[in-house]
Structure 1
């Protein structure tokens, strides 16, 4: 029954390869991003821009080291400097990914007209060889006064995907919107 609804409901149905957990996670994460941004949250791309900038610096350093005019014995000190800079900037990039990004799929600004001053961090996990998809919504600034408690759910992907790998968007949309509403309602309960 879900299979027919998914096929007839949308001409551009999202389909995942059920044998590839990365394909399933990608489809679900993409849908979560669409749902969150449709609820009035604007994506915050500052961290992505910092990562791109650091990656560009790393590439430029590697290009300088590769195409420097002098040959090896003469450019030894220059190459050592490039290697050190490459390691430093790459370490910085990895530190940002490890400490800030973690499993995040989306960072947002607060919605327009909202009383909260923080956006959201939406994170997901789909462990290899598991069908349990975990979705977490937390504050982008957990130390802020207006930060809500993180909310999450863990459900089997079989609830949202047909046996052909087509995403039943209505069911998934309902679960994600309920999670967003739970997060939004959290500060009001504390007052």
Structure 2
């Protein structure tokens, strides 16, 4: 019987990863490509020792829950129209206000962010990181940015980013070569934190 071969890709340590751990994207779908790269970038940042800050996500979930409760209360209120007219108007107003707040959080805080972190433990920097990315539709150019979670802080560093074609990280079958992507993202984080200069 002829021996079987398994496709492998490099990992951070220059070793190999089993086919089960491969990350594959549909190269004809920019959303699929971005999802794979964003997921990998988040993992790389956390493996560098950063801890994810989920406070903003929790706030959005909380607001979403409030919006759902308002809608349910308005739907099942025990008075019928027109007796519940004022109550329904109040619910509609609250529904609109909370939805606007939710949208403002997405526009002003999240933007293109894929990950928020706490400050690195033991670091002199008192702010965490915001990792954001862009991959325009019908484009192969992926941009990833590392910036401060609190730009107004005196310890905030200048944002750093790079733009590169996704063809540099994927095989023709759509498999992410994590070793190459790891090096690029890790280099960017080191540029932001100043580790490369220190070294």
TM-score range, shorter chain: over 0.9
2:116 maps to 1:107: yes
Q: How far did residue 5 of structure 1 move?
A: 4.6
Distance 1:45 1:63 in 2: 27
The TM-score normalised by the length of structure 1 is 0.93
Matches within 5 A, 1:44-55: 44-55=53-64
Aligned twin of 2:86: 77
* Unmatched runs of 5 consecutive residues or more in structure 2: 1-6, 11-15
* Unmatched runs of 5 consecutive residues or more in structure 1: none
The TM-score normalised by the length of structure 2 is 0.89
2:9 maps to 1:6: yes
Matches within 5 A, 1:14-29: 14-29=23-38
Distance 2:58 2:28 in 1: 33
Q: Secondary structure at the match of 1:135?
A: strand
**What's the RMSD between the two structures over aligned residues?**
1.9
Higher helix share: 1
Distance 2:138 2:9 in 1: 25
Distance 1:80 1:18 in 2: 48
Q: Secondary structure at the match of 1:54?
A: helix
Larger mean Cα displacement after TM superposition, 60-69 or 4-13: 4-13
Larger mean Cα displacement after TM superposition, 66-75 or 81-90: 66-75
Distance 2:100 2:79 in 1: 28
Runs of 4+ in 1 over 3 A off after TM superposition: none
Q: How many residues align structurally?
A: 187
